[in-house]
Amino acid sequence: MAAGLRAVRRWGLVAAPPSLAFTRSAFAVKKANNAQPNWLGVGLAFGTSAALWALLIKQHNEDVMEYERRKAHKCKQCS
């Protein structure tokens, strides 16, 4: 068992931990300019949020109407 571990270490089959000093993030390309916000991104974020809320409210109203319709339905065959 110990000989096998020595062989693995000797042949370099164990992954070495990455050195943080030599890594570079692909996402930190340039500094953010807060004086000129990305208005397209802001508009897309708020527009998407508004559209999802509208869809949620519409679906809720349809569900409430269906609930009221089924609650008001009185029939001997269904009960």
Domains of the chain by residue range? 37-78
pLDDT score recorded for residue 75: 79
Asked if 49 and 42 count as a contact pair (C-beta separation under 8 A), the reply is: no
Residue 69, both tokens: 């319709």
Place of tokens 């974020």: 45
pLDDT score recorded for residue 78: 73
Query: If we measure between CA atoms, which residue out of 47, 69, 67 comes closest to residue 59?
Result: 67
Residues of the chain under the 70 pLDDT cut: 1-26, 28-29, 79
Q: What is the pTM of this model?
A: 0.53
pLDDT score recorded for residue 48: 98
